[in-house]
Amino acid sequence: MVSTLLTPCGRDRRTDAGERGAAGGIGATRILDREHPRVRALVRSIGTATGGGEGPEATVAALRRAHRWISEEVRPVYSVEETRPVSQVLRLGRGSCSQRMAVLEAVARAWGTPTRVRGLVVDGTFWYPRFPRLRRIVPSQVVLAWPEFRIDGLPDGEGRAAAPWLTVSELFADPGDPSGRGGAFTNEGPETLFEALARTVVHWDGPASDSASSPASDTASCDTSCALSCDLSAYLLTDLGRFDSRDELFAVHGQTLCGPARFLAEPVLGRRAAGV
């Protein structure tokens, strides 16, 4: 299979390590180079973490504001260089979903909000709708860094304190309403997964009844059973657990494509706009 030949050799992504824990952090990393002048300028342009308010709700509002800025100012493309520093993504003014989520992480860390990532191995068929004529070269497995943000003190809608770690998707859920607001995400057209976060809660852990399901159709979407949220659990192959940073995830499990494949693909895919 051509897609398998494009992936790194010697990486064991079969073992499920779903309970692998991580404390996260606010420090700069090679990818999350939050101290770079270009990143600092971005943080200043977005404003303070509280935006004039106080408490965890103000932090969430600020992260939503940062997400909106990234959606508008960093053009979505199919870049395959997943370890590209945030400062370079900002210089280019374009980035993949993974790179744009890294920008949001860097901003959060600059504001003092700890972040970490959950490592997911996602079935390559999830991306078939975006490459209908190139399915043979779509990787069979894609390593995805799914960010989480530590925000202490948020209510859960019933007067109790919510779990401190929020996934990037849960940043947009109202307290006590984990279901979301917008429903299906088809992974085709101009809307990418990064934009979809603002209108629907994405679930990678579906109900037990869905655990045996598989992505049988060619369209990556949520059906009528998840009208208010988006259940993508059918595409999750392996849960690699939590990592203190995306740098650590990619150091342990590698990027989706091997080095030679990235070298050949990046000049083309790194400029190709999503939905084109």
pLDDT, tens digit, for every residue of 58-78? 999 999 999 999 999 999 999
Structure confidence at residue 168 as a pLDDT band (50, 70, 90): very high
Give the percent of the chain with pLDDT over 90: 50
| Tokens 């342009």 -> residue | 45
184 versus 62: the higher-pLDDT residue is: 62
Residue of 60, 32, 119, 75 whose CA lies nearest to 271? 75
224 versus 186: the higher-pLDDT residue is: 186
User: How much is the average pLDDT of 175-202?
Assistant: 75
Q: Are the C-beta atoms of 245 and 116 separated by less than 8 Å?
A: yes
What is the rounded CA–CA span in Å between residue 5 and residue 171? 37
**Whole-number pLDDT of residue 7:** 58
Q: Are the C-beta atoms of 126 and 188 separated by less than 8 Å?
A: no
User: How much is the average pLDDT of 38-49?
Assistant: 89
Structure confidence at residue 166 as a pLDDT band (50, 70, 90): very high
What is the rounded CA–CA span in Å between residue 105 and residue 257? 23
Q: Are the C-beta atoms of 76 and 83 separated by less than 8 Å?
A: no
C-alpha distances (whole Å) from 127 to each of 46, 138, 179, 212, 271 are: 32, 8, 24, 20, 17
209 versus 255: the higher-pLDDT residue is: 255
Q: Please report the DSSP string for 185-244 in residue order.
A: --S-SS--HHHHTTTS-EESS--GGGTT----SSS----GGGSSSEE-GGGEEEEEEEES
Q: Is the pLDDT confidence value at 52 over 70?
A: no
Query: What are the pLDDT digits (tens) for 232-248?
Result: 999 999 999 999 999 99
What is the rounded CA–CA span in Å between residue 198 and residue 101? 12
- Report pTM: 0.83
Structure confidence at residue 144 as a pLDDT band (50, 70, 90): very high
98 CB neighbour count, 10 Å cutoff:
28
